[in-house]
Chains A and B, each alone.
Chain A
Amino acid sequence: MATLIPASSENSQNGQQDAAFSIEEFLWSEQEKDLLRLSTAGSVDDGKSTLIGRLLYDSRNVYEDHVRAVTRTTGGSAQASIDFAQLTDGLRAEREQGITIDVAYRYFSTERRKFIIADTPGHEQYTRNMATGASTADVAIILLDASKGILTQSRRHVYITSLLGIRHLVAAINKMDLVDFSPEVFARIEEQFTALVAQLGDANVKVIPMSALAGDNVVERSTRMPWYSGPTLLEHLESVPARHQLDGTSFRLPVQRVIRPGQDFAQQNFRGFAGQIAAGTVHVGDRVVALPSGRQTLVASISTFDGDLEQASSPQSIAITLEDEFDISRGDFLASADDPPQSSNALEASLVWFDGKPLDSRRNYLLKHAAQTVGARVLAVHHRVNVQTLAEEQADRLAMNEIGRVAIETLRPVFFDPYLKNRTTGSFILIDADTNATAAAGMIRGASAVERRGAWSELEETAFGHKPAVLLAGTALASSLEEALLGEGCAVVRTRSRDPKLWRALESVGVIALVEMPEEEPAAGARLAHFSAGTDREPELLLSRSFEDAEPAASAAEVLEALRRKGVLAEKGNG
């Protein structure tokens, strides 16, 4: 069953259009557009593919060759029918063949806006995909079949959108033609749906009766439901505020990278802290705090390729220079001094578990939050949420596609805002340190009161008079460093292996692994990769001297000094 359109209509209209088209006007109107991200959810056969196909087709975002590919001419008649579902349903074939079912992203635009749709399959086991699609969405469209009403699955869909913090929900009550466009049926579903959403949070809801197949209230207003006076789906999507317009918290910048151009440049002393602003606005002259050091200073400049800015806001990618020279590296935060993010080693969070291997509270994971990755373990599973009934059930682990509330402990403090206040500073992923799989996604609720478990392992607590560490150094420095560390009584293992698994293994037994890297610049000093303490893959430079400074090669003594500052070696006593 598909809509009929006259095949001959393909030839009409367009000469006119070409003549009237003005590129100047077009480019001008393009620049006014903003970007809205959508996610979709629905049970199989509710009509999601048909709806998306309609949305793209009726808003003239489909290429002709695509349309022709899914158009059937029936008999010898001049009538051709478009299978709207086929227009976008890249997932269908896969579903039938039983292979990966995944989030697919589609793009369309209208005169007002650009849209990105994260199209997620609605089947039972795909909580993971829905969460993925919802994580970046401003608006979620939830499909309901008017002839079926609200199903258990609809509850799950609403629950996941509320968990992922989507502020705007649209319930598309589809297939109204099957219930004779009945206002009573619509009113009943609308009431139930609104109540369900209210039960789970305070998202804004718009409920729209439609027939995706015939195009009623998708882009064009329905003539068959005169009793409905609200907007069509597209009208509504064109007017919903985008998320970035709503970011209310104070300034936060997770530092991704320190930019130091070096000698060739006019800005010889330039040290730019580069990142994408996660929240708020920053101005030149603002007082900011650097975390974890807690030291405060003023913003000296906001630098971009297109020139310095007086102010910048989320989600711009910029680089900031500061009035004072602080030791700031990747993973640190710059934030409003008046209203900094919270800081804690123990977090309360909702987790969506993805991995085939269930959550195991005895294992260590890596937690990636903004630009930092830290070691983490789960202290307690408070409950698991039954996504069918939304009941909280007792559990001590989470399996694939399960959702629960947990307390998590991290090796270093995490600087966060509650997820519902800010998605970027409130979200994290857990990575399985053995397989590198993304094991779970987490939404931070707040700091946790659950008691920490104490030492991560005996080894971590300087069992050999030092903490385990992985040091990367050039050949010459590695030699002198090995001597110096042995002289300090450290357990040192020197290797040329580039395999991080080996490094991690050495570290986990408590020794200092010294990795010889022949190509390492002598001036660069040694770099410290502290795995169990969960650093990123970019090892931390131990001496703040860089290649460009062209100072003499770093000495072993300097590196030992730095290791003491970092707490890898114990501070020298005074006696």
Chain B
Amino acid sequence: MASTIAIPESTTQAPQRLSHLRLLEAESIHIFREVAAEFQRPVMLYSIGKDSSVMLRLAQKAFYPGPIPFPLLHVDTGYKFKEMLAFRDSYTRELGVDLRVWRNEEALAAGANPVKLGTQRCCGLLKTTALLDALKAHGFDAAFGGARRDEEKSRAKERIFSFRDRAGQWDPKNQRPELWNIYNGRIGPSESIRVFPLSNWTELDVWHYIHLEQIPIVPLYLAKERRMLVRGDSLIPVEQSFVKSLPGEEQWVRSRLRSLGCSPCTGAIRSDADTVPKIIAELVTFRSSERANRVIDHDQDGSMEIKKREGYF
């Protein structure tokens, strides 16, 4: 099954130490250990994406040589790319971690899909509701998530320990001040926290760490010739697409995905980046580029893509 796992190829000698990344790593490991020690039933939300891959490696490091003392939870919307699921299954099996998968079967049986419901309601049912149900059903009291503060403005204020009330809701007025590396993990019955061990990592840090540590990632991140529906600026992966192609729109395009979402709602970009260093190069040159038109959408959830896409439905 190893063929589903892309081992990033490095074009440089991976150095042993990298100070700022090692600092971030040490901080994240400390967070993992605090949560494992202070909570009864932690779980790691595993999205199969690059941030999850990094979290998983950090969790391995935190408890080495012991096993990761909590399960992984994948909320499967039913619309994930086949390559993602194949990667998920082979990689978690290889690592011997305890993977739980949760789907909102009820909504799927009722035919929930982004065209019928609109992306927002579809995400609400298949992602948010499913997640809350899963946390409740398992009685998880702490859930690790891979969100980073650099993702968008509203995330910039998120705590590392983010408190959730009995309904699983986030109350911005009720967040605890967080000083030094002392985390207040005390909760009442049915309350829980989300924990963000990658809070202080940037997108570049994540890719650089993947490169240094040779962390396996889903091959969809790497450029190759893929079947795409080309319309205007958008590249729509043909897999599970709800968009009807017009004659000539389906083409082979050298492309890759920047973020892994559900196949009907994730756009691809034209790219030659078929190694991790090339992805980093792409990220860095786009960033320092002053060309307004070639901006990478910085939104990890792909909501920009989704918005763009809604016009096609």
Contact = CB atoms under 8 A, between A and B. Distances in A.
B211 interface: yes
A31 B208 CA distance: 9
B62 A317 contact: yes
Given A107-B202, A114-B20, A132 B278 contact: no
A262 B292 CA distance: 56
Given A261-B66, A275-B33, A305-B61, A99 B17 contact: no
> Which range contains the number of A residues in contact with the other chain?
35 or more
Contacts, number: 231
B165 to A, nearest CB: 12
A457 interface: no
A354 B40 CA distance: 28
Contact of A90 (B22, B157, B290): B157
DSSP class of A's interface residues: helix, strand, loop or mixed?
mixed
B37 A441 contact: no
Contact of A31 (B17, B149, B186, B199): B17
B132 interface: no
Given A27-B208, A90-B156, A259-B63, A132 B12 contact: no
Interface string B170-197: 0011011111111011111100000000
B254 interface: no
A499 B189 contact: yes
Given A30-B18, A63-B296, A257-B36, A132 B178 contact: yes
Interface in A276-304: 276, 303-304
Contact of B30 (A10, A276, A423, A501): A276
Interface stretch (A195-203, A212-220, A264-272): A264-272
Contacts of A260: 66
A227 interface: no
B290 A274 contact: no
B297 A116 contact: no
B289 A65 contact: no
A270 B187 CA distance: 32
Contacts of B277: 23-24, 27
B51 interface: no
Contacts of B312: none
Interface string B12-34: 10010111111111110110011
A104 B157 contact: yes
A473 B121 CA distance: 44
B37 A536 contact: yes
Nearest to B10: A27
Contacts of A103: 157
Nearest to A134: B179
Nearest to A61: B287
Contacts of A366: 186
Interface in A95-150: 99-100, 102-107, 109, 113-114, 116, 119, 128-129, 131-132, 135-136
B11 A24 contact: yes
Q: Among B27, B61, B64, B287, which residue has the most Cβ atoms of chain A within 10 A?
A: B64
B180 A60 contact: no
B274 to A, nearest CB: 13
Contacts of B22: 316
A10 B180 contact: no
Interface stretch (A388-396, A425-433, A462-470, A476-484): A425-433
A101 to B, nearest CB: 9
B39 interface: yes
A366 B288 CA distance: 48
A231 interface: no
Given A30-B208, A132-B177, A371-B37, A276 B287 contact: no
Contacts of B291: 10-11, 14, 64
Given A10-B290, A303-B64, A317-B29, A429 B18 contact: no
B281 interface: yes
A537 B176 contact: no
A106 B278 CA distance: 25
Interface string A48-74: 000000000000110111101000000
Contacts of A13: 290
Interface in A175-210: none
Contact of B200 (A65, A105, A330, A427): A105
B295 interface: yes
B12 A27 contact: yes
B67 interface: yes
A109 to B, nearest CB: 8
B292 A64 contact: yes
A261 B65 contact: yes
A50 to B, nearest CB: 16
Contacts of A319: 64
Contacts of B290: 9-14, 64
A496 B33 CA distance: 28
A501 B173 CA distance: 24
A556 B274 CA distance: 62
A204 to B, nearest CB: 21
A303 B204 CA distance: 28
A109 B277 CA distance: 18
A328 to B, nearest CB: 14
Ranked 3 nearest A-B pairs via Cβ = A317-B29, A135-B179, A305-B61
Given A90-B156, A431-B184, 7 more contacts: A14-B288, A105-B156, A262-B66, A305-B64, A315-B27, A436-B186, A538-B37
17 contacts: A14-B288, A14-B290, A14-B291, A18-B285, A31-B19, A64-B295, A66-B298, A102-B172, A103-B157, A104-B153, A136-B180, A276-B26, A276-B29, A304-B64, A315-B26, A500-B188, A536-B37
Interface of A: 9-14, 17-18, 21, 23-24, 26-28, 30-35, 60-61, 63-66, 68, 90, 99-100, 102-107, 109, 113-114, 116, 119, 128-129, 131-132, 135-136, 244, 256-257, 259-262, 265, 267, 270, 272, 274-276, 303-306, 315-317, 319, 330, 354, 366, 368-371, 423-424, 427-429, 431, 436-438, 441, 498-501, 536-538
